[in-house]
């Protein structure tokens, strides 16, 4: 499970590149590397946890961190998409907004693995709770 989660976390990096292209157009006075660093925490949270063979925290905390990362990425993505649809900014350089949005939504495909991991953690947590009630 951790290896799949680790590989799927790189989808968030790909999505962050698309987000970076859209946010760089939106905030031209801020250096682009600062914008990119602000978009990486969802990836870093999942990468740091899944890098270990066994999670450094319990299933409940792991599930909450997974929810935090997925929510952060979703809010950033939806904000960028709304800005793109409402204001239709000009693309920066040779990187079109269509490609940026495609990368952003391709990164969201990693939610398939995240959702399965979330469900497995929840099932494990429920089984652990029910077995402790019996004993």
Per-residue pLDDT tens over the stretch 21-70: 888 878 888 998 999 999 999 999 999 888 877 778 888 888 899 999 99
Residue 7's pLDDT is 84
Digit-coded pLDDT (tens) for 107-129? 999 999 998 989 998 898 888 77
Residue 95 phi, psi (nearest 5): -100, 105
Helix (H, G, I), strand (E, B) or coil at 119: helix
Nearest-CA neighbor of 19 among 61, 55, 60, 72?
72
Helix (H, G, I), strand (E, B) or coil at 57: coil
Residue 135, pLDDT above cutoff 60 = no
Torsion of CA 105, 79, 5, 129, to 10 degrees: -130
Residues 84/97, Cβ–Cβ less than 8 Å: yes
Residue 102, pLDDT above cutoff 80 = yes
What is the band of 92 on the pLDDT scale with cuts at 50, 70, 90? low
Q: Which two tokens stand for residue 29?
A: 């006075």
Q: Can you give the residue ranges of every domain in the chain?
A: 2-134
Residue 85, pLDDT above cutoff 60 = yes
53 compared with 85, residue with greater pLDDT: 85
């Amino acid at each position: 499970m951790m290896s799949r989660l680790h590989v799927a976390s790189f989808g968030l990096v790909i999505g962050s590149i698309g987000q970076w292209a859209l946010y760089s157009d939106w905030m031209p006075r801020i250096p682009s590397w600062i914008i990119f660093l602000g978009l990486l925490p969802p990836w870093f949270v999942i990468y740091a946890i899944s890098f270990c063979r066994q999670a450094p925290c319990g299933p409940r905390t792991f599930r909450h961190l997974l929810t935090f990362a997925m929510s952060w990425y979703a809010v950033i993505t939806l904000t960028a998409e709304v800005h793109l649809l409402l204001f239709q900014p000009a693309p920066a350089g040779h990187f079109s907004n269509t490609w940026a949005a495609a990368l952003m939504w391709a990164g969201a495909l990693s939610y398939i693995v995240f959702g399965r991991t979330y469900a497995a953690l929840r099932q494990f947590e429920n089984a652990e709770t029910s077995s402790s009630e019996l004993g």
